[in-house]
Amino acid sequence: MEASLEKPSSPAITASRRTGKWKKMKQQKILYLMVLPAFLCTLIFAYGPMFGLYMAFTNYSPGGGSFFGSFFHSEFVGTQWFRYFFENGDFYKIMRNTLAQSLLSLLIGFPAPILLALLINEVGGGLFKRFVQTVSYLPHFISWVIAANIIVTLLSSQGAINELLMALHLIDKPIQFLQNGHAFWGIIAVSNTWKDMGFNAIIYLAAIAGINPELYEAARVDGASRWRQMWNVTLPSLKPTIVILSILAVGNVLNAGFDQQYLLQNTTVLDYSDVIDTYTYRYGLQNGMFSYGAAVGLFKSVIAFILVVAVNAWSRKVNQQSLY
Amino acid sequence: MSLIKRSEDRLFMAFVYAFLILVFLVTFYPFWNILVLSLNSADDAVRGGLYLWPRSFSLQSYQEILKDQEILTGIKVTLMRTAIGAPLTVLVISLLAFALSKKDLVGNKLISLFFIFTMYFGGGLIPYYMILKSVHLIDTFAVYIFPNLMNVFFVIIVRSFMQELPAEVEESAKIDGANDFQIYARVVLPICLPVLVTIGLFSAINQWNSWFDSYVFTYKSDLKTLQAVLVKILNQYQTQEFTSSSGQLADSAKRMAVSSETIRMAATMVATLPIVLVYPFLQRYFVKGMTLGAVKS
């Protein structure tokens, strides 16, 4: 009975529902006004550039008139800029650098916060724990400008790292870290890890806080040492979190960064430092190849979107399975 | 048996403490190193070897900064964008979050999708620049404000907070005949103060730290932020380090380079200090925000 009532069976009922909806929307007009500022900001600064991506298929030149208006008299060139990107030899280098820096950062930066969370959890709730944890977040909150200033100082020929290596007699003369292309990927990976390890540990600590204390009780009764408890109780309990976060990391693999590469690179290491975003900036804005820059940006956005959607579907599936 | 276990535990805990102290040193020492360099006299710093403590203590570099017009302007502009940008961001976000927290809002799903889609897809830098240009924000102070008013992640956090409020909170105001805006301003905002302060501090930190917009989207020197000035100083330093390492610098030039070096350190400290003062207070909230964000996404 109720189901048949719910169904809009006659046109009259549908129409009255529609007017009901209108009436409600009118009542809610203040709420729509509250949405408006955010809507306008998003429309202009997020959707505007999306529609502007049409420039990637033209020979855009910033002549007179508005941005969108100039589309009408810009020459349509189809996929010319995309073919240019794939064929001019930069594509391979840029993708290699992007993926290498991303994956190397994951290799070091993914396990580090797990280890940190496991060990912080072992020292109880005292002042020491709070202190170490608070200090470990600090690098996350400073800008890459400050971080880069710190990193170039530490790595300079008179810097603390060279001095330490010399004092330990590991090297005889200072290493020019930042002028060595082969070192760049490693420097980025370590810097990323330094910056975000403490902050990323938070999510694991939250997961650890949710573990049932009875599990530890049972382990202690069985005579498990603290190391065993960590290895056999805490770590397995983190597995769902680890799985989800690693899946999400895959979705982010093209976001190797911009700030850290741009601020730490110099012309001698460009062959190894240049990633998609720095490349887009250099060609698109600095060299004024607007359409080419937009095309490379669009390429990245589309691949990243596909990756994120695929990965979200994957994580949902994993999530469901781990529930059973 | 228990004796063996206890010594095993002791060994394990020794390792745990050793590792955590190492983490502490690795995180903290770089900041300490910068502080030491900034507090040493520039002439003495030429000799190098400054790692643990200033050798000849001096506030000279900080005094130099206070005379440097570029850095002073940078500090002023940065303070202004932070003081104006963060409260406006909180306003725009809380308005939207309030509207979206109403499940009976007609079209709520569609509106949410409109905003959430921007988390997954974007136009990229070049069309973004073109948009800024066509709305005449390039080379204006407003370029620091308007493009930063929205943040979908913050909206999700504030909306969840509002949805968790008990329904009775609004009921009595509704009976008194208050409209949606009055309920928002007089009832919901005061209760949401903790989460709004958190969002405000986060956007303040974002405003303070942001450098690319100032570096690329403005040209006038009186619009450059502290971070953008620091990028310029960093670039100069890297060129110097590069030429001096290839032995092309005379001693006097080297001395100049080092004195600008301690100034660079002092400027870095000035940019870091407000963050150090503020971020520990965020701790309580971002733990909650992050777990929430992770659950939602």
**CATH code: domain of residue A303:** 1.10.3720.10
Q: Are residues A213 and A249 in the same domain?
A: yes
Across residues A263-291, what is the average pLDDT?
A: 93
Across residues B198-214, what is the average pLDDT?
A: 94
Q: Among all residues of chain A, which has the CA nearest to that of B216?
A: A285
Across residues B12-18, what is the average pLDDT?
A: 93
Q: Does A257 lie at the interface with B, CB-CB under 8 angstroms?
A: no
Sequence-separated (6 or more) residues with CB below 8 Å from residue A159: A153
Nearest chain B Cα distance for residue A227, angstroms: 6
User: Both tokens of residue A141?
Assistant: 């909150």
CB A56, CB A295: distance < 8 Å: yes
Residue A59's beta-bridge partner residues?
A: A75
- B238-280 pLDDT, tens digit each: 877 766 655 555 555 555 555 678 888 999 999 999 999 988 8
Of A76, A99, A129, the residue at which a domain comes to its end is: A76
Query: Distance between alpha carbon B53 and the CA centroid of its chain, in Å?
Result: 28
Cβ <8 Å between A156 and B241: yes
Q: For residue A246, is it within any domain?
A: yes
User: Both tokens of residue A291?
Assistant: 């359409």
User: Both tokens of residue A1?
Assistant: 């009975």
Q: What is the band of B1 on the pLDDT scale with cuts at 50, 70, 90?
A: very low
Give the residue among B118, B154, B102, B170 at the shortest CA–CA distance from A32: B102
Q: What is the mean pLDDT of chain A?
A: 88
CA distance A181 to A188: 11
Q: Look at residue A105 in the predicted model and tell me its pLDDT.
A: 96
Cβ <8 Å between A122 and B16: yes
Q: What is the dihedral of CA B263, B265, B266, B269, to 10 degrees?
A: 160
Q: For residue A112, is it within any domain?
A: yes
Q: What is the dihedral of CA A226, A228, A229, A231, to 10 degrees?
A: 120
Among B95, B268, B280, whose Cβ lies nearest the Cβ of A149?
Answer: B268
List A residues 261-320 in contact with B (Cβ-Cβ < 8 A).
263, 266, 268, 277, 280-281, 284-285, 290, 293-294, 297-298, 300-301, 305, 308-309
Q: Are residues A45 and A91 in the same domain?
A: no
Q: For residue A279, is it within any domain?
A: yes
Q: Look at residue B82 in the predicted model and tell me its pLDDT.
A: 97
Is B15 or B58 the better-scoring residue by pLDDT?
A: B15
Over 50: is that where the pLDDT of A205 sits?
yes
- B116-163 pLDDT, tens digit each: 999 989 999 999 999 999 999 999 999 999 999 999 999 998 998 899
User: Both tokens of residue A142?
Assistant: 């400073």
Q: What is the band of A118 on the pLDDT scale with cuts at 50, 70, 90?
A: very high
Q: Are residues A7 and A131 in the same domain?
A: no
Q: Are residues A54 and A101 in the same domain?
A: no
Q: For residue A82, is it within any domain?
A: no
Q: What is the extent of the structural domain holding A72?
A: 2-76
Q: For residue A81, is it within any domain?
A: no
Q: Look at residue B6 in the predicted model and tell me its pLDDT.
A: 77
Is A241 or B212 the better-scoring residue by pLDDT?
A: B212
Q: Are residues A38 and A99 in the same domain?
A: no
Q: Are residues A196 and A52 in the same domain?
A: no
Q: Among all residues of chain A, which has the CA nearest to that of B123?
A: A50
- Judged by average pLDDT, the poorest of B85-89, B104-108, B261-265 is B261-265
CA distance A67 to B4: 75
CB B152, CB B211: distance < 8 Å: no
Which residue type is seen at B69? Q
Contacts of B146 in chain A (CB under 8 A): 41, 44-45
Cβ <8 Å between A50 and B123: yes
Number of domains forming the structure of chain A: 2
- Look up the CATH architecture of domain B68-296: Orthogonal Bundle (1.10)
List A residues 77-106 in contact with B (Cβ-Cβ < 8 A).
none
- Judged by average pLDDT, the poorest of A15-24, A122-131, B23-32, B271-280 is A15-24
Cβ <8 Å between B146 and A157: no
**CA atoms within 13 A of residue A166's CA, in its CB half-sphere:** 13
- Judged by average pLDDT, the poorest of A51-65, A256-270, A288-302 is A51-65
Q: Does A145 lie at the interface with B, CB-CB under 8 angstroms?
A: yes
Q: Are residues A22 and A159 in the same domain?
A: no
CA distance B270 to B181: 41
Among B24, B105, B121, whose Cβ lies nearest the Cβ of A132?
Answer: B24
Cβ <8 Å between A141 and B241: no
Across residues A194-211, what is the average pLDDT?
A: 91
Over 60: is that where the pLDDT of B30 sits?
yes
Q: Look at residue A61 in the predicted model and tell me its pLDDT.
A: 78
Over 80: is that where the pLDDT of A88 sits?
yes
Of A37, A54, A76, the residue at which a domain comes to its end is: A76
Q: Does A154 lie at the interface with B, CB-CB under 8 angstroms?
A: yes
Q: Are residues A121 and A63 in the same domain?
A: no
CA distance A193 to A107: 10
Q: Are residues A72 and A149 in the same domain?
A: no
Across residues A211-220, what is the average pLDDT?
A: 90
Q: Among all residues of chain B, which has the CA nearest to that of A296?
A: B124
User: Both tokens of residue A113?
Assistant: 């916060």
Q: Look at residue B294 in the predicted model and tell me its pLDDT.
A: 47
CA distance A29 to B226: 42
Of A30, A46, A76, the residue at which a domain comes to its end is: A76
CB B201, CB B282: distance < 8 Å: yes
In the DSSP assignment, the letter for residue B58 is -
Q: For residue A191, is it within any domain?
A: yes
Q: Among all residues of chain A, which has the CA nearest to that of B203?
A: A141
CB A191, CB A108: distance < 8 Å: no
Q: Does A132 lie at the interface with B, CB-CB under 8 angstroms?
A: yes
- SS3 for A224? coil
Total residue length of chain B:
297
CB A204, CB A238: distance < 8 Å: yes
Among A42, A115, A294, whose Cβ lies nearest the Cβ of B150?
Answer: A42
Nearest chain B Cα distance for residue A26, angstroms: 10
Nearest chain B Cα distance for residue A73, angstroms: 16
**CA atoms within 13 A of residue A26's CA, in its CB half-sphere:** 6
Q: Look at residue B35 in the predicted model and tell me its pLDDT.
A: 93
Q: Are residues A20 and A138 in the same domain?
A: no
- SS3 for A59? strand
Q: Does A120 lie at the interface with B, CB-CB under 8 angstroms?
A: yes
CA distance B176 to B183: 10
Cβ <8 Å between B34 and A48: no
Query: Distance between alpha carbon A179 and the CA centroid of its chain, in Å?
Result: 27
Q: What is the ipTM of this complex?
A: 0.89
Q: For residue A8, is it within any domain?
A: yes
Note the pTM of the prediction, 2 decimals. 0.88
Over 60: is that where the pLDDT of A321 sits?
no
Contacts of A41 in chain B (CB under 8 A): 92, 146-147, 149-150
Domain boundaries, chain B: 2-38, 68-296
Q: Look at residue A3 in the predicted model and tell me its pLDDT.
A: 43
Q: Are residues A71 and A91 in the same domain?
A: no
Per DSSP, chain B holds a count of helices (H) and strands (E) of: 14, 0
Q: Are residues A38 and A148 in the same domain?
A: no
CB B100, CB B159: distance < 8 Å: yes
Sequence-separated (6 or more) residues with CB below 8 Å from residue B21: A132
Is B236 or A57 the better-scoring residue by pLDDT?
A: A57
Over 80: is that where the pLDDT of B27 sits?
yes
Q: Look at residue A1 in the predicted model and tell me its pLDDT.
A: 37
Across residues A202-208, what is the average pLDDT?
A: 89
Over 90: is that where the pLDDT of A98 sits?
yes
